[in-house]
Amino acid sequence: MKKLISIGAYSLAYDLLKKSTSKESSIIKSLLAEHIVYSLVISLEVSDDITSIDDALVNGFNWIAPQDLIYLFGGVGEFRKLYLKYAENQISQDVLDSILDEVKPSAYDYRKFLKA
């Protein structure tokens, strides 16, 4: 992943992570899946829309927007599979579907947050 990110092949780097079966990759996938969904849930609890979390994490913490991570994992459908397989603390399927139905690419350029 590090080499792919360093040459700007971001999608390939995340494809590599998705396909990996190592223990380390499972930990990363679990952590990212839970972070993304938790962020989106909190965004809806404290604001009027799902994009508010992008603004908070990008501008407040200089982190990649959660919605961009979903697209790096291959979009909503691919992310749903990843979440259901790797997240240990899962929310209900109905809540997950309602949240993921609102996901769209963020207004930020995710590339500046991916460093090798």
Query: What average pLDDT does the structure give for the chain?
Result: 94
Q: In angstroms, rounded to a whole number, what is the distance separating the alpha carbons of residues 17 and 19?
A: 5
Give per-residue pLDDT as tens, 29-81: 999 999 999 999 999 999 988 899 999 999 999 999 999 999 999 999 999 99
The pLDDT-based confidence of 3 (bands split at 50, 70, 90) is: very high
Report pTM.
0.91
**DSSP notation for 58-115:** IIIH-PPPHHHHHHHTTSHHHHHHHHHHH-SSPPPHHHHHHHHTT----SS-GGGG--
pLDDT > 90? residue 115: no
